[in-house]
Amino acid sequence: MKQAFLGIDCGTQSTKAVLRDPRSGAVLAAGRAPHRIIEGEDGTREQDPAWWIEALRIAVRDATRDGSIEVVGVGVSGQQHGLVCLDSSGRPVRAAKLWNDTTTARECDELTRKLGGTARALALTGNVFLPGYTAPKIAWLRAHEPAAYARTARMCLPHDFLNLWLTGEFATEPGDASGTAYFDVRTRRYRDEVLAAIDDRRDWVATLPRLVPSLDVIGTLRPEAADALGLAAGIAVSAGGGDNMCAAIGCDVVVEGPVAVSLGTSGTAFAYRAEPAVDPLGEAAAFCDSTGGWLPLACTLNCTSATEWARDLFGLSHGEVDAAIADGGGADEPAFLPYLSGERTPNLPRGAGVFVGLRANHGRASIVRAVVEGVTFGLAYALEALRRTGVTPTEVTLVGGGASSDAWAQLCADLFDLPVVRPAIDEAAASGAARQAQWVVEGARPSLAPAASRRFEPRPRPELHAAAGRMAALRELAEANRL
């Protein structure tokens, strides 16, 4: 029977499962199951953790349906920053608040004030308090739902929750933990000062998962989980990581040099560093990676979530959107600030989408193109934040669902003014989780699957310079009015 490593990615929209060949690195089979999301006009974005378990069961059984592959190791990737609250019996107390939940802006301000300002927060953890992070979510829960907070015995991240269900072990690793804003990325430990600012009476040692090295086996597949998934009990489960950390492993951003941009529900730009890399302005996150290094990362909240909104608005196919992007338009095209869910880079949690320059002669192609360009300009801004951490991009590796579009990949090259390489990677985060599991079990970094990459060179586009000016003005307007 052929052997493979199972990689699981619990994202915002779905859970994916892939089986990765340990010798070739190729994905042998894949499964997927969608998630619902609870949304509110106040910025609420939540999911019931029970949905993740059911999606995990469906996705894994789908990937292993032919029964011809033996799973010899499991790795889990999860959406970062989400707050999972468990009672004393290990049951979820309430729905998990997600990374793109923006209800916690007031708690960010209050925690920053309690700790003595932004500079002090950066000194303690390497990060500032942003609404997406976990620390302000805990403060929000304590302030807004005291009964649920009191019932909460343990708190963890989404990938930690899945690992707990798989193995019975309550643990986390530095990569995902560094996105909580109560974890010091330099020393790789929880910061007592930040936890005390949230609640100086709670027993945080009992509340939070123990920290383990990323390249470690945290446990083995327990019988009940194995039965639900149709797998053998006792399979090794690695520490896993956040989705961005596992995507970095999946596209080989595990040494200094490459810079990756992911076009997913959110947009991210990240690069490996062998030492802590902190943005003095705090816009780029100072994260650890999930191999033992660091992963400075800048995130925009609105990426394919915005482009799909525009596509659905006009009932366009993906091919029609690509045609609109490739057309390029002219110098008098509209511009769009894509802050439909607020924004994280720059930090505008109450942000809103804004069109400028709309005229009667602008049709749906112009509007859709403006949305895609606005999202891409946001990623260019994120790359500038990444440069402040010491990263020097010379080439961008493009991953994520949106990367399948040739027209969008070319737009990225044009706007970033950098060559863009699109490797043939199936599900970078899930594949990265499987690759980490193999790394842990075999004790050496596995090779990537040999695959041809598509390369896009930047082209001179004068009309984009005009658009860049409009976007900068829009961003300044948003900052001045705290849109």
CATH number of 2-253: 3.30.420.40
What was the pLDDT predicted at 231? 98
Per-residue pLDDT for 311 more than 90? yes
Closest residue by Cα to residue 478 from 353, 379, 359, 382:
353
C-alpha–C-alpha distance, residues 8 and 80, integer Å: 14
Per-residue pLDDT for 479 more than 90? no
Catalytic residue numbers, as ranges: 243
Per-residue pLDDT for 450 more than 80? no
pLDDT in tens, 75-84: 999 999 999 9
- What mean pLDDT is predicted for residues 404-409? 95
Per-residue pLDDT for 348 more than 80? yes
Closest residue by Cα to residue 163 from 8, 372, 335:
8
Q: What percentage of the chain reaches a pLDDT higher than 70?
A: 98
CATH number of 300-422+455-481: 3.30.420.40
What was the pLDDT predicted at 482? 59
The residue with greater pLDDT, 129 or 425, is 129
- Give the residue range(s) of CATH 3.30.420.40 domains in the chain: 2-253, 300-422+455-481
Per-residue pLDDT for 68 more than 60? yes
What was the pLDDT predicted at 347? 87
pLDDT in tens, 366-398: 999 999 999 999 999 999 999 999 999 999 999
Least confident of 13-22, 347-356, 448-457, 472-481: 472-481
pLDDT band with cut points at 50, 70 and 90 for residue 480: low
- What mean pLDDT is predicted for residues 395-416? 93
The verdict on whether omega for the bond into residue 393 sits within 30 degrees of 0, i.e. cis, is no
pLDDT band with cut points at 50, 70 and 90 for residue 257: confident
Q: Are 254 and 289 in contact (CB under 8 A)?
A: yes
Q: Are 342 and 131 in contact (CB under 8 A)?
A: yes
Least confident of 180-184, 297-301, 345-349: 345-349
Q: What is the mean pLDDT of the chain?
A: 94
pLDDT band with cut points at 50, 70 and 90 for residue 461: confident
Burial profile 269-281: b = 16 or more Cβ within 10 angstroms, e = fewer = bbbbbeebbbbee
Return the DSSP state at 403. Answer: G
Q: Which residue has the tokens 């990765």?
A: 20
What was the pLDDT predicted at 72? 98
pLDDT band with cut points at 50, 70 and 90 for residue 481: low
What was the pLDDT predicted at 471? 78
What was the pLDDT predicted at 274? 94
pLDDT in tens, 166-188: 999 999 999 999 999 999 999 99
Q: Are 337 and 375 in contact (CB under 8 A)?
A: no
pLDDT band with cut points at 50, 70 and 90 for residue 472: confident
pLDDT in tens, 115-127: 999 999 999 999 9
C-alpha–C-alpha distance, residues 193 and 353, integer Å: 37
Q: Amino acid identity of 45? A: R
pLDDT band with cut points at 50, 70 and 90 for residue 331: confident
Per-residue pLDDT for 140 more than 60? yes
